[in-house]
Structure formats: C-alpha cells, structure tokens
Chains A and B, each alone.
Chain A
Amino acid sequence: MTAVILAAVVGALFALGTFLLLRRDLIRVVWGLAIISQAANVYLLAMGGLADASADSVPILAGHGEHVPQTADPLVQALVLTAIVIGFGMTAFALVLSYRVYEEHDTLDVSELGDRDR
C-alpha cells in the first residue's frame, strides 16, 4: 500500500513540476524545476526500499552481531541528502539568475524574452 501511495505522490509531483515548467513565467519555471528535483528525491528514497534491511545494504549493523533489524537503507538517505543540497543550491542560483534576467529584459515572460535578440 505504501508503495502505491509513494508512486502516486512521485507521479503527481512530476506532473505538477512539468506543468509549471511549461508556463510562460520564469519564476514558475524555476518552481517547476524545484518540484521536479524534489520528486526525484522522493523517488530516490523510495528506490532504497522500505522492506527489511540485510547485511548487504547495512554493513555497519552487520558488524555489531548476527541480527540485522529492520531499517531504512542508509545509502539512499545519504544520496538524497546530497541531492537535496545540490538541488537547493541550484534552485537558489536559478532564482538569482531569473532576477538578473528580469533586470536585463524588464520582463519574466518567456515569449517576450525569445523575441529580443533575433
């Protein structure tokens, strides 16, 4: 059941992100990118598996005795953490850049940006 809900959530986030990405307003485009990268993060977490852990996926615990309890996969947590940090930095950069675009072009409308330097 959890898997179905997660899949639906990831799908909905991607749909929303794609929708925003196709807007004419640059800020919405940045929002769309942020949401898509968050969707990728949720997907990445789900890919780590919500099932039982084993000695393969959690070598640290294997060293502390025979028994490996149920855990989330720590590797994907580390991956997602890295991806979040990178995504955060990139979103901030994209926002600053869109402000600069606004300064240079006096508009955030994509269709007007395109016409300028033809």
Chain B
Amino acid sequence: MTAGIEPTAPLAAVPGGSESGLVIAPMLVVLVAAVGSLLLGRWPRLRIGVSLAGGAAYAAVVAAIDWYVVLAPDAPGVATYQVGDWPAPFGITLVVDGLSAFMLTMVAILGIASLVFSTRVLPEIDRRSYYFPLFHFLALGVTGAFLTGDLFNLFVWFEVMLMASYIFVAYYGGPQHTRAAFWYVALNLLASAVFLLGVGGIYATTGTLNMADLAQRLADPGAYGLDPTPVVGLFALLLSVFAIKSGLVPFQFWIPTAYRAAPPQISALLAGATKKVGIYAIIRLSFTVLADADVPVELAVPGVGTVIAGDSPLAFVGAALFVMAAASILVGGIGAVGRDSIEGVLAYSSIGQVGFIAVPVAIAATTGSAELRHFAVVAALVYALNHTLAKGLLFLAVGAIRSATGTSRLSDLGGLAGRSPPLAIGFFVGSLALVGIPPLSGFFGKFLVFDAAARAESAPLLVLLLVGSLLTIAYTTRTWNRSFWGARTDAVEEASVDVVQVGVVLVLATAIVAVGIGFEPVYEFADAAASAALDGEAYVDAVDPLEPDELETEGGEH
C-alpha cells in the first residue's frame, strides 16, 4: 500500500482523532452562513436572521473546540483534520491547538458583537447589499488562517480575508474611501507577491510547505539532506508580510486611512481580528516551526560588534521585532495624541498597542530561558486578548457615536457623557482597559508585559513600555475630555442614541471587567495556548508528517 494509490486512513493513528470533525466545523459553519446570506438577498430580515444564527453557531463551535480540544481534563491539546484523508505532508492539513483556539475565541467574541452591531447601523437599502455575506467571508478567511497547517494555504486564507476587507474599506464609496481602498489593495497585492516569494523559496529550500513537516525537517536538516540557512532570509520576507498585516512600524502607513474609511464596526474587526492573524502567524512560525531549527545566525555591524547571534532564526526574528515594536509604540502613541477624530486616535493607538504585543514576542524570541519564553508568550496573548476586547469596544462606541451624532470629529463633539451615560460608561471602561487600570483585563495585559520585560532585565525596554503607557494615558484622556466632557455641541444635543448599539458596547465592557475579575481561567487558557505555541513536538506529532524513510518506500503505513 502506498500513499500514491489509495489514500490511507491516518486519522485513527492521530492523537485526538475523534476531535477531527470539530477542527473543520468553524469553517463549515461560517461558510454556510456566508452562502446562506448570499442567497437570501431578497429577504433582508431572513438574511439578518441567518447571519446572526451563523454567528451564534460559530461561537458555539469555537466554545466546543475550546473545551474538547484544549481545556477539558482529558483534552488532547491538538486535533487535526487531514483533508481527503491524505497523510501529511501530501494533503492539506487543518490543525487546531491551544494557540489557534485562543485566537478563534477572541474572533468569535468580537465577531458576534460586531455582527449584532451591524444589524443596527445599516440603513434598509444596505441590508440588501453584500454586507453580510462579506462579513462572513472575512470571518472565513480569518478562521482558515488560524486553522491551516500549511504555508501556502495560509497565503490563500490571507487572500480570502483581504478580499472581503478591501470591499469593506471601499464600502461607503466616497472619494476618500476609494482612495484609501486603492492604496490598501495595492499594498496588499505587493505583500502577497512577497509572501509568494517567501513561500516558494521555503519550498525550494526544504521541499515542504506543511508547517509540521517544515519544523521536523529544519530541526534535523542532515537527515533530509537540506541546507536550512536560506530559511532565515526567507522568513524575513514572510515576517515583513505579517508585519504589514499586523501594522507594525515601518509597515503601518496604511492603517490610519483604511481604519477611518471602513465602517466602524468593521474597523473593530480589522483591529481586533485581522490584525491578530498577523500576530498569530508570527508566533506560530517563530515558535512552533522555527524554534528548533538548526541554523546558526550571526550578524555583526561594523563599529558596534555582534548585534544578532543565536542558533536558530529566532535570534533574527527577535531583533527585528524589538526594533519594529519600539518604533510602533512611539509612532502610534505620538501619532494618536494629535488626531482630530476619534477613529484617527484609535487607528494610531492600534499601531501603538500592537507594539505592546510584539515586545513580549520579541523577548520570547531572544531569551535563552524556556521559562521566560513561555511567560512572555502568555503576556503577548493576554495583551492581544485585551487589545481585541478594548479596541473592539472603542470602535463600536465610535460607530454608536457616529450613528447618533453623524460625526466623530473631536471638534464637533462634547458633553456626550451627559447625553448618554451608558455609552460614556462603555467608552470609559474601554479607555481604562487600554491604559491598564485594575481590575480590567488591560491591567493584567500590561502587568504581564512589564513583568516579562523586567524578567528579561532590560532597562531600555521598561523605559519604552513606560513611555508608551504614558502616551496611552495622554491620548485616551484627551479623547475622553474632548468628546464626553465639556459643553454639549449641536450635534450632541440632537443625537438619538440607539439602544442596541449601546447594549453591544456595554456587553463588551462587561466582558472586559469579567476577564479582569475572573482572570484565573483566562490565564490558564493563555497558558495552554502558549504551551501549544512553544511545543513544536506535540504539533508535529499530531500532524504526523511522514519520515524520510517512509517517504522513500511505503508512504502511508505507520
């Protein structure tokens, strides 16, 4: 029996094989929701019903994955689905482990909030447009990117996600929206070409695109007869692509225009979900795939000495991430202070906050201590969760403000706190979570990131984080003062606030408080996610790519 003739049945041999149906379930659910809402264009109410049902089913499936794959006492930790029963690395592999599950959970929470919000902001005519199908296709792309175990499929899912987001950026169709969308499309097409270069180069160098197989081959290049050195440079190409997706400086320039052009509830998703795809890809490839790679890296700068040295590509990744994270925190923070609209502030803030996520990732990449690496990844994940909740809440609040007053310019706002106290409370909670006040989720995010920097014994990093935090306080205070306090403007006086929109904002605020108060289980989940991200061996075992001798002779038997 060989792999080529009849597909074998490796599922039985895969640990956690019984969960394999769950792995593909979120993609199926969201695909059905997308196609269903596409077909129901003539019946807007039915379409909205199907969309909401799809969102609820998605959340249920993700919750099932969280429990049965990651959190239950006898959970396997990793589950795989080999498409068409082809064994890895020949088939397409879908994998869910703690890291993917953690990311999916964030997307599910924010996705539902944004979906419910969407049903209230679209005028009747828009409900007949392709808004809801596109919303689900965006979710499909994000879900696929989190689940795929294959580099080229990561590219494909990125494209699915981007295609929907292009249309959302151009959605309002005015001059500045088309302009923002054009540059967003142009930049991402260029990034896609670079992604292909990286993927093609890695395939030529290692002979595989399956991430588990890649990890296995890079850990022991001798057995496969390959020279892994080019992988460092090729991964640098991929890193630049992921940095574009996550908006790290110097690849941040598209963010302010795109976030301002997109509808606010979509900007919430762009900041909370698609940005996290970039972060996820960096963490997954750095720690699951490349951490055990056997490649000496050394870079000396004349006059400075050796700046990068290590025995895996992580040394390079860490150094690059440090520079990008530091620049992001400063550029984002300083940029946010001077904006004249709330969206502008939030978009720049988003650049700064992603720097806070990248700092612990960089610490994890450079440190030699396994314990600190684990801790730093936990810090990054908790911070990412906080950013998703807080930034999602704030963008939705802007959406509520905009549909109530028709503007989000700071100069046209004032006295919102008296006009709608619930909205003000929601916005306040979101702002405090960004700043990092206990007992909100942001406190633990910031605390863990500072703790990681302290454990890395890096004074410059601590100063950087402190400056970034002060900038956060500066721009959140300024935004709050100018839009919620002070004399009421005409726009605010005539505002009519939508109850459901504010309700969604308050639900997210409650979630932020709940995460802060009941932090123990959240920490455990993040801890499991970090263990999964760092345990390349378990990942490889679960995907179970064939060994070299099996490849030569009897492909499918094991």
Residues of A within 8 A of B (CB): 21, 26, 29-30, 33, 36-37, 39-41, 43-44, 47-49, 55-57, 59-64, 75-76, 79, 82-83, 86-87, 89-91, 93-94, 97-98, 100-101, 104-105, 113, 116-117
Contact segment of B175-183, B301-309, B416-424: B175-183
Contact, CB under 8 Å: A82 / B197: no
* Residue B35 is within 8 A (CB to CB) of chain A in the complex: no
**Is the beta-carbon distance between B166 and A47 smaller than 8 angstroms?**
no
Which 7 A-B pairs give the minimum distances between C-beta atoms?
A63-B4, A47-B204, A47-B200, A44-B200, A40-B196, A40-B193, A104-B175
By a CB distance below 8 angstroms, the chain B residues around A56 are 207, 551-552
- Known contacts A36-B190, A47-B204; decide if A93 and B166 are in contact (CB<8 Å): yes
Q: A21-B186, A40-B194 are in contact. List 9 more A-B contacts (CB 8 A).
A: A36-B189, A40-B192, A44-B200, A47-B200, A59-B551, A79-B200, A83-B155, A93-B185, A117-B179
Expressed in whole angstroms, the Cα–Cα distance for A6 and B90 within the complex equals: 27
Q: How far is the CB of A56 from chain B (nearest CB, A)?
A: 5
Nearest CB in chain A to that of B198: its residue? A40
The tally of CB-CB contacts under 8 A between chains A and B is 120
Size of the B side of the interface (Cβ < 8 Å), in residues, is 39
Across-interface contacts of A62 in B (CB, < 8 A): 2-4, 555
What is the chain B residue whose CB lies nearest that of A98? B182
Chain A residues near B5 (CB-CB < 8 A): 63
Given contacts A62-B4, A83-B196, A104-B175, contact A97 B182 (CB under 8 A): yes
Contact with A along B144-158 (1 / 0, CB 8 A): 000000001001100
Q: Are A76 and B179 in contact (CB under 8 A)?
A: no
- Known A-B contacts A63-B4, A100-B173; A55 and B190 likewise in contact (beta carbons under 8 Å): no
- Chain B residues close to A by CB (< 8 Å): 2-5, 90, 152, 155-156, 159, 163, 166, 170, 173-176, 178-179, 181-182, 185-186, 189-190, 192-194, 196-197, 199-201, 203-204, 207, 209, 551-552, 555
Contacts of B204 in A (CB 8 A): 47-49
List chain B residues, Cβ under 8 A from A83. 155, 196
Residues B170 and A86 in contact, CB atoms below 8 Å apart: no
Contacts of A55 in B (CB 8 A): 551-552
Chain B residues within an 8 Å CB radius of A47: 200-201, 203-204
Whether the Cβ atoms of B4 and A41 lie closer than 8 Å is no
Bound complex: CA of A41 vs CA of B384, how far in Å?
35
Known contacts A97-B170, A116-B175, A117-B175; A86 and B159 CB within 8 A of each other: yes
Nearest CB in chain A: distance from B389 CB, A: 31
Q: List, in ascending order, chain B residues with CB within 8 A of A29's CB.
A: 186
> Cβ of B200 and Cβ of A33 under 8 Å apart?
no
Known contacts A47-B201, A63-B3, A100-B170: A105-B156 contact under CB 8 Å: no
How far, in angstroms, from A55 to B4 measured CA to CA in the complex?
A: 10
Q: Are B193 and A101 in contact (CB under 8 A)?
A: no
A117: nearest chain-B partner, CB-CB = B176
Q: Are B190 and A43 in contact (CB under 8 A)?
A: no
Question: How far is it, in angstroms, between the C-alpha of A104 and the C-alpha of B323 when the chains are bound?
Answer: 39
Q: List the A side residues contacting B163 at CB < 8 Å.
A: 89-90, 93
14 contacts between A and B (CB under 8 A): A33-B186, A33-B189, A36-B193, A37-B196, A56-B551, A59-B90, A63-B5, A76-B203, A82-B156, A90-B189, A90-B192, A91-B189, A100-B173, A116-B175
Q: Are B200 and A76 in contact (CB under 8 A)?
A: yes
Q: How far is the CA of A100 from the CA of B178 in the complex (A)?
A: 7
> B190: which A residues are within 8 A, CB to CB?
21, 33, 36
Note all chain B residues with C-beta closer than 8 A to A41: 196
Q: What is the bound-complex CA distance between A64 and B2, given in angstroms?
A: 9
**Do residues B4 and A61 form an inter-chain contact, with CB atoms below 8 A?**
yes
Which residue on A lies nearest to B188, using beta carbons? A90
Interface contact B207-A57, CB-CB below 8 Å: yes
Point out the residue from B159, B175, B182, B201 that lies within 8 Å of A94, measured CB to CB: B182
